[in-house]
């Protein structure tokens, strides 16, 4: 990343000069540990001082390599993104919740 007031053509020429000997190469996929078989519900109850109640629900989703994963991103957005989202209107506007959100970890980290 380059920011600031600079001459673009000069900076690009310098970047090309510095990186000319670096050849492109394939980035290997890191090995993924197999997911253990899910045999039933798992629950954790945490009790502490205060009156605020929290609920966090997790579901088993497809592998990071699954072509279905982008559809889950779209679903999470439709359900929880913004005041017009379905869960916001259903839960927050009905004063059953103060916040709703959905997320998943779809990105794989890679080290070059």
Tens of pLDDT along 52-65?
888 888 888 887 77
Task: Answer yes or no: is 27 within a domain.
Answer: no
E strand map for 6-99: none
Task: Answer yes or no: is 8 within a domain.
Answer: no
pTM higher than the cut 0.75: no
Q: What is the pLDDT of residue 112?
A: 40
Task: Answer yes or no: is 40 within a domain.
Answer: no
Task: Answer yes or no: is 111 within a domain.
Answer: yes
- Domain count along the chain: 1
Task: Answer yes or no: is 63 within a domain.
Answer: yes
Q: Which domain holds residue 86?
A: 52-112
Task: Answer yes or no: is 5 within a domain.
Answer: no
Instruction: Extract long-range pairs of 40-44: CB within 8 Å, 24+ residues apart.
Output: none
Task: Answer yes or no: is 96 within a domain.
Answer: yes
Task: Answer yes or no: is 112 within a domain.
Answer: yes
Q: What is the pLDDT of residue 110?
A: 44
């Amino acid at each position: 990343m380059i920011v600031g007031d600079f001459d673009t053509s000069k900076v690009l020429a310098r970047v090309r000069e510095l990186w000319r000997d670096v050849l492109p190469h394939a980035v290997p996929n890191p090995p993924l540990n197999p997911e253990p078989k899910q045999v039933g519900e798992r629950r954790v109850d945490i009790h502490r001082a205060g009156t605020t109640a929290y609920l966090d629900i997790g579901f088993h989703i497809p592998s990071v390599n699954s072509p279905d994963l982008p559809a889950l991103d779209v679903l999470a957005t439709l359900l929880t993104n913004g005041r017009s989202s379905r869960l916001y209107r259903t839960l927050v506007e009905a004063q059953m919740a103060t916040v709703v959100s959905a997320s998943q970890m779809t990105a794989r980290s890679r080290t070059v």
